[in-house]
Structure 1
Amino acid sequence: MSGALSWPFMRLYLLTLFYFSANAILNVIIPLQGEALGASHTTIGIIMGAYLFTTMFFRPWAGAMIQKHGSVRVLRVILIVNGLALMLYAMTGLGGYFFARMLQGVSTAFFSMALQLGIIDALPEKDRSQGISMYSLCSYIPGIIGPILALTIWQSGELNYFAVVMLLIALGTGVIGFSVKPDKSTPNPAKTGQGAGGMLRSLGQLATHPSLRKCSILLLSASVVFGAITTFIPLYAAQVEHGSAGVYLMTQAAVVVSARFLLRKHIPSDGRWHASFVMGMMLMLAAGAYCVSYSSTGGAVIFYLGAILIGIAQALVYPTLTTYLTFVLPQTERNVLMGLFIAMADLGVSLGGILMGPLTDLTSYTFMYAACAVLGASMVVVAYERRGVRKAVS
């Protein structure tokens, strides 16, 4: 195999799979543990949101540090930090989870930037979308098994099993990560540095660069919906007749994985803005959120239909927008600007818990997910563009 499916890249995808296995379990255990201890939706949302809220702040810095020191050196340090975070989950209760989420957020900022920028730098333009899709695919594969494993652990009443699983994941991730060596086949990051002034100028491009602004708004809004689903589905499923949080999350993750693999060659990789394609994704996202909202009345079939629709949208949104930006962003600032863009996904997922938790406390799950549907539908206007012209890279 060659290109995005060659062995050096497969090794990075395997590392991604192990790294994100912990989150697939934590996304179920933490809300259930919080509810069992009497925590409000607001508190649960804050704890869940702390992870990617922290990641958001560190991503731009991560992009600059990787440019300066190289992805492999940064990766090895970050795997140690990730191991410490997983140990905190194993040794503490709900109170310690907040600090563990923040530490894990720092780790994820550097981990994901190191792998994604390495993949982007190493692959030719025609293979970029496939490489990004494969990375994203492997980050979601744990979501197929993780929720069921988490529910099994929870229902057993033995949280010692949870501690053992966290430690095993930390060990496995470290072993695979430290085996990655910088060679001709491994992505080599650019060595250009960027000072504080350059970072501030890059931050300003979130508002001034039209393509970056458009993609950031779309990713932020879509991620709010994804975050609300991840955070509250473990609790909301009990209100759906014959609904199961484990089956829902497993279905959505399986759809994400399948769609990213089967549709990876159909994701635009030509540097042009495909407005109708992006608008379709936003409409699919809105329809999925509405199905979830309506499922408390409509039942399990509607509930799982929502998982399918949201899964397809989730499979396509991120690699489509990311691939487009790799063509249109200025080459000299691309790594830092990509960090700022990906930070919008982190912020959105965090807000899905932090903002939608209080909204749920004030209203209901049904109203909250209906609001998510309206948010997704409104993004059709943002995605619209009269013609898809490739912007020149400055």
Structure 2
Amino acid sequence: MRGALSWPFLRLYLLTLLYFSANSILNVIIPLKVESLGATNTTIGIIMGAYLFTTMLFRPWAGQMIHKHGPIKVLRTILVINGFALIFYAFSGLGGYFAARMLQGVCTAFFSMALQLGIIDALPDKERSQGISMYSLCASMPGIIGPLLAIGMWQTGDMNVFTLAMVGIAILTGVVGYSAKMDKKEIDPISGQAGQSGAMLQSFGQLVKNPHLFKCSVLMLSASLVFGAATTFVPLFAAQIESGNAAIYLMLQAGTVVISRFVLRKKIPSDGRWHSAYIMSVMLILAVASQCVSYSVTGGAMYFYVGACLMGIAQALLYPTLTTYLTFVLPQLNRNVLIGLFIAMADLGVSLGGVIMGPVADQFSYSFMYRICAILSALMMLFAYDRRKIFVETR
């Protein structure tokens, strides 16, 4: 496998696009459906948050299993389970949505870890950021058209269309996934590491002990909380904004993510250095985005859509930057597990965006909730600052 844009990698990116296409529809359909059943924002937040909260819990284990068995074996198994989860959505009620979200969360933990660790291990150092960025880009691309399709399905009032969509995506993802390959010479499960499970448990302490992992995890957790609040509640908040449309917002955000990740993929640092000004700028963009969304209830749809574009830029840049940085500074011996913990913090943040911000929206308002997100993002600008230009890697 040569180069981040070679055919074997393009096939993996296509698989990523297909896998996450279901979620782009579910992120809109589920809040609307659950609200129609009389649920509160708190309940909606819990159901939506169950997906990535479960993903977070299984990330470290997924990293260890991939480390032991290799990405392809894990990938093919998990695609079958994911197919059952998607079909289960189509025939579920309120309680069934919660169970299906958890099952899909398990699948996503293994799927994303298998692809990301496979890409990281297969690419040379100078192309890691491009590979991670392309993976993230394809994970975001379904968000451009998915929300519009979801709104169309909802407005027809015929959930049979939704059922057919879930079944079709499950089958197509499985077919493409089983034909995907990774170069075994370059992506070989590490053997002979006795006591890997114990090492995995010990790695949880590295979230605090390792300064690189701690800084990146706190930043990703905070930013993901904002992303999660937007994803979960924008379909409901848009109704309060004059000329506001949830599908347009989500399409703009996803489209900006896709364009930014492709156009700026070579600008993302891939040198193992901590670029304070770069990270602080990204957090500033996120703070302004949240404030625009908050103010849109008064200022109008223009602020709503500007906020979507700015949030897309922040989302496009932050995750690949922090992930690439960690691939350089984390110890090789347990790098897979530690990266799994970092990604788990991103999952936890998105989950908390629904679970924590749901009660805030119930108690106050959606506008107030997004203002809190803006303040949190601004505080993270200070946290991102570091006078050191490079962290010394110790292995």
Give the TM bin, normalised by the shorter chain: over 0.9
- Distance verdict in 2 for CA 1:147–1:203, change over 3 Å: same
The alpha-carbon deviation at position 180 of structure 1 amounts to: 1.6
- The amino acid across from 1:173 in the alignment is T
Task: Give 3-state SS (helix, strand or coil) of 1:3's partner.
Answer: coil
Please say if residues 70 and 187 of structure 2, whose CA atoms lie closer than 8 Å, have aligned partners that are also in contact. Answer: no
The alpha-carbon deviation at position 186 of structure 1 amounts to: 7.3
Task: Describe how 1:205-354 pairs up with structure 2 within 5 A.
Answer: 205-354=206-355
Task: Describe how 1:91-240 pairs up with structure 2 within 5 A.
Answer: 91-183=91-183, 187-191=187-191, 193=193, 194-240=195-241
- The amino acid across from 1:203 in the alignment is F
Please say if residues 359 and 368 of structure 1, whose CA atoms lie closer than 8 Å, have aligned partners that are also in contact. Answer: yes
User: CA offsets per residue over residues 258-314 of structure 1, 9 Å max, x none?
Assistant: 000000000000000000000000010000000000000000111000001100000
- Normalized against structure 1, the TM-score is what? 0.98
Distance 2:186 2:15 in 1: 13
Match of 2:65 in 1: 65
Distance 1:386 1:240 in 2: 42
Please say if residues 293 and 365 of structure 1, whose CA atoms lie closer than 8 Å, have aligned partners that are also in contact. Answer: yes
Match of 2:376 in 1: 375
Distance 1:94 1:174 in 2: 27
Distance 1:55 1:34 in 2: 21
Match of 1:79 in 2: 79
The alpha-carbon deviation at position 392 of structure 1 amounts to: 1.4
The alpha-carbon deviation at position 199 of structure 1 amounts to: 1.5
Distance 1:284 1:143 in 2: 20
- The amino acid across from 1:39 in the alignment is A
- Distance verdict in 2 for CA 1:390–1:320, change over 3 Å: same
The alpha-carbon deviation at position 362 of structure 1 amounts to: 0.5
- The amino acid across from 2:67 in the alignment is Q
- The amino acid across from 1:87 in the alignment is I
Task: Give 3-state SS (helix, strand or coil) of 2:205's partner.
Answer: helix
Match of 1:48 in 2: 48
Task: Give 3-state SS (helix, strand or coil) of 2:286's partner.
Answer: helix
Distance 1:373 1:339 in 2: 27
Please say if residues 122 and 188 of structure 1, whose CA atoms lie closer than 8 Å, have aligned partners that are also in contact. Answer: no
- With 354-363 and 381-390 compared, the bigger mean Cα shift is at 381-390
- The amino acid across from 1:10 in the alignment is L
Alignment size in residue pairs: 394
Distance 1:303 1:66 in 2: 41
Q: Structure 2: any 5+ residue segments left out of the alignment?
A: none
- The amino acid across from 2:273 in the alignment is R
Q: Structure 1: any 5+ residue segments left out of the alignment?
A: none
Distance 2:2 2:77 in 1: 29
Please say if residues 253 and 309 of structure 2, whose CA atoms lie closer than 8 Å, have aligned partners that are also in contact. Answer: yes
Distance 1:271 1:182 in 2: 26
- Distance verdict in 2 for CA 1:133–1:185, change over 3 Å: farther
- Distance verdict in 2 for CA 1:41–1:4, change over 3 Å: same
Distance 1:252 1:345 in 2: 18
Identity of aligned residues (%): 67
Distance 1:268 1:72 in 2: 29
Please say if residues 8 and 181 of structure 2, whose CA atoms lie closer than 8 Å, have aligned partners that are also in contact. Answer: no
User: CA offsets per residue over residues 63-84 of structure 1, 9 Å max, x none?
Assistant: 0000101100000110011001
Please say if residues 272 and 391 of structure 1, whose CA atoms lie closer than 8 Å, have aligned partners that are also in contact. Answer: no
User: CA offsets per residue over residues 29-57 of structure 1, 9 Å max, x none?
Assistant: 00000111110000000000000000000
User: CA offsets per residue over residues 340-385 of structure 1, 9 Å max, x none?
Assistant: 0000000000000000001110110010000000011000111000
Please say if residues 229 and 350 of structure 2, whose CA atoms lie closer than 8 Å, have aligned partners that are also in contact. Answer: yes
